[in-house]
Amino acid sequence: MKILVTGGLGFIGSHVVVELQNEGFEVVIIDNLSNSSEDVLKGITAITGKQPLFEKLDLRDKPLVVDFFKKHHDILGVIHFAASKAVGESVDLPLLYYENNLNTLIYILQELQKKEASNIIFSSSCTVYGQADVLPITESAPIKPAESPYGNTKQIGEEIIKDTCKVSSNINAIALRYFNPIGAHESVKIGELPIGTPQNLIPFITQTGMGLREQLSVFGDDYPTEDGTCIRDYIHVVDLAKAHVAALKRLINGDNSGNYEVFNIGTGKGSSVIEVINAFEEVSGQKLNYKIVDKRAGDVIAAFADTTKANNVLGWKSELSLKDALLSAWKWEQEIRK
Ligand code: NAD
């Protein structure tokens, strides 16, 4: 039961490795450490009592990918996280994003095509829906033109897998469309490690709470929502990690219907930026210094998941609350600043 986790030292990947090892899977991680540190291995080992195999490798290097699959010919499934993920950076460096997020996927699929049977889980995103016309968002909502090269790589990535599955019945794939992953493992031995200025709300909040940032900017308060701020579906990263295990088991057990499936992974509940700030202030006991600034281009007003398909078909449901996630993120921020 050997599973390859690409990007397994990153934020989501590391939490998935923990859940896989807890469920008895043998894990081999590939990561080039472009957005992570080898120290994450220590955290995973401390939590699970087992050190996963690790190969420092850049998946853009095709011959290395080919050699890796020859060496690890017994890989039963791949969970593919490795990608570049900064939306703003992708606008400035589109080719880096298309190369890193698409070539790596193609090289892996080419190796999986050679195998008698293989399983792959792909990290997609709710950004594929853009501003959906109907909320909550179901998997059948139309895909909207991407707002950034990063978002486009997720749409194209899904298309690449879908087209490959049409001609390769030996490949079984699931694309998971994540809503907004936040939080950290309760042990605070692994969590999110943003390099430079955080791109996402929660690390910005926790860094502001710690005094590392002077002020949080809230982009716009006149959206057509109850308090005027944008609404997102924040999902605890541990719940998200468990969804990967459920999806992988579905493929391994042959329970899938068709060899390409898509699931929304969220909580089903939308929270506004102001609600998140209030919840953070409550769990941390800290007042947060924030100000309302102009809207940002490309921000959708509201996005939250209809999780009926994941609940009924994967047998998975998010269990942890927004406050659980914020408290874990806050504890993690304090831990890494010690
Ligand atoms: P992350 O940056 O923390 O993890 C990605 C890991 O992949 C990093 O450890 C990085 O070093 C590694 N990596 C990148 N390029 C590589 C390459 N060419 N070869 C080997 N390793 C490489 O990101 P994350 O937040 O854990 O996201 C994981 C996946 O989920 C990504 O595909 C991301 O696009 C997707 N996703 C993330 C979010 C989110 O909000 N975090 C939302 C939707 C989808």
Instruction: List, for residues 20-45, the tens digit of each pLDDT value.
Output: 999 999 999 999 999 999 999 999 99
Catalytic residue set: 150
Q: How far is it, in rounded angstroms, from Cα 152 to Cα 48?
A: 36
Which residues have any ligand 1 atom within 6 Å of their CB?
7, 9-13, 30-36, 58-60, 81-85, 100, 104, 123, 125, 178, 181
Q: In the prediction, which pLDDT does 169 show?
A: 97
SS3 content of the chain, % helix, strand, coil (to 5): 40, 20, 40
Q: In the prediction, which pLDDT does 195 show?
A: 87
Q: How many CB atoms lie within 10 A of CB 142?
A: 10
| CA neighbor of 329 nearest in space, from 280, 293, 286, 291 | 280
Entry pTM: 0.98
Query: Ligand 1 center to residue 227 CA distance, Å?
Result: 32
**Residue 129 in 3-state DSSP?**
helix
Residue 332: burial class (beta carbons within 10 Å; 0-12, 13-18, 19+): buried
- Residues 175-196 pLDDT 10s: 999 999 999 999 999 999 988 8
CATH assignment, 2-183+234-266: 3.40.50.720
The domain spans of the chain are: 2-183+234-266
Query: Ligand 1 center to residue 226 CA distance, Å?
Result: 33
- Closest atom of ligand 1 relative to the 85 alpha carbon: 34
Per the listing, tokens 């998997």 go with 139
Query: Ligand 1 center to residue 85 CA distance, Å?
Result: 6
